[in-house]
Each structure stands twice: as structure tokens, then as C-alpha cells.
Amino acid sequence: MEVKNSQTRYLYALKSVLYDQKWVENAPNCELYYMYRGKKTKGELRYDITIIPSKMLGQEFNRTKGNRNSKKYQELYTVLGGKAIFLMQKTKRGQIDIIEDIVAVAANKGDSVIFPPRYAAITINPGRKELKIANWISDKNNNVYKELLAMKGPGYFYTKSGWKKNKNYRMVPKLRFEKPLKKIPSNLDFLK
């Protein structure tokens, strides 16, 4: 894969948003995942690829840092290889410590997921193989990290012993589980 527009995310960039804080204190600043932005474009839409190796971050499965899209932008993710869990959460307007909705979608190769507006999202690799995902997103979008950073991660962490609630939130509802899309929508204009 070409190196142009590539970015490597290291452990220390996720240090404050991980579940196993005891483990991360002494862990080396290793590579966690690789992002390749703008592999192709369709008008204002950009196609990115992210590769998340299979590894454990102490008790937690390897995952992305997580972010929310700016304004009302949506995002379409497709699994190209491996297994993924997409975790999406929406907080109450003006109260980032209260989650109104939180949903997990388990997806396999060929499955897709749409990240709705106002939802922060992370991608987890729960498998023993490398996870390769692609996404379509508007080039006008800006990733917003501040909420997940302020709350020290998402509402739930996926660990060896299952889902663990993040106690930094004042309110976290029961985790909902949804099914992925089995095919990509033919018209991507909703992403603009």
C-alpha cells in the first residue's frame, strides 16, 4: 500500500481513552493501527482504508481512538477483511457525560455500517486476524475527539471478559445490538 496520505496511530495517542490503565502505564508506545486517507474520491467524498492488527491492549481488544463527525455528516464503513465491532454512541446535547443511545454492530467481510449524525464511534478488532475496513466520508467533515477524550473513552469497553461500562459517565444505557447492512447503498449522496 502506498505511503502517501498514510498515518500510524500509536498507543500513547489512545492512552487516556483505554480501559486497562494499569497495563498502559508500563506498555511501550507501539503501533496500533494504520490509516490510508483518500485512496480514491467521488466528488467531495473520500475513500479511506484502515488496518487494525489483532492484539490486546491489556484486557481490551485493539481498537481505534474514536471520534464524532462534525456537523451532520454520516459515514459508511465496510469490512474488507477480518471481523469488526462498530460501537456508536450519542450523548445528550450539551451533556457529554449522559449517553442517550449506544449500539454495537458485529460485522464480517462484506458487511457495512452507517455511522449516523451526532454519534461518536470506535472500531474494535475482536478477532485473531488483522481487520481491514474501508470508509466513505465527506471531505468537508472534521473529526471531533474532545468528547471521548473528556470522558476517557466510550460508554463501554470490549474486553477479554466482555463489555465493561465506563464509570466516568453519569448515565450509560444498556448496550443495544444491531445487524450490519449486507450491501453498500448504490447512492452515496446521503454522505454529503
Give domain status of residue 1, yes or no.
no
Give domain status of residue 74, yes or no.
yes
Give domain status of residue 187, yes or no.
no
Who contacts 87 (Cβ-Cβ below 8 Å, separation ≥6)? 66, 102, 103, 104, 121, 122, 123, 124, 154, 156, 158
CATH number at residue 19: 2.60.120.10
Residue 162 has pLDDT above 90, yes or no: yes
Give domain status of residue 95, yes or no.
yes
Average pLDDT, the chain: 96
Summarize pLDDT for 102-128 with one digit per residue, the tens.
999 999 999 999 999 999 999 999 999
Give domain status of residue 105, yes or no.
yes
CA distance 153 to 145: 10
Q: Could you tell me if 7 and 38 are in contact, meaning their C-beta atoms sit under 8 angstroms apart?
A: no
Domains identified in the chain, total number: 1
**What is the span of the domain harbouring residue 56?**
6-180
Give domain status of residue 191, yes or no.
no
Cα-only R_g, the chain: 16
Give domain status of residue 136, yes or no.
yes
Who contacts 55 (Cβ-Cβ below 8 Å, separation ≥6)? 32, 62
Helices vs strands, H then E, count in the chain: 3, 16
Confidence of residue 5 (pLDDT cuts 50, 70, 90): confident
Summarize pLDDT for 7-41 with one digit per residue, the tens.
999 999 999 999 999 999 999 999 999 999 999 99
CA distance 37 to 21: 30
CA distance 102 to 186: 27
Give domain status of residue 165, yes or no.
yes
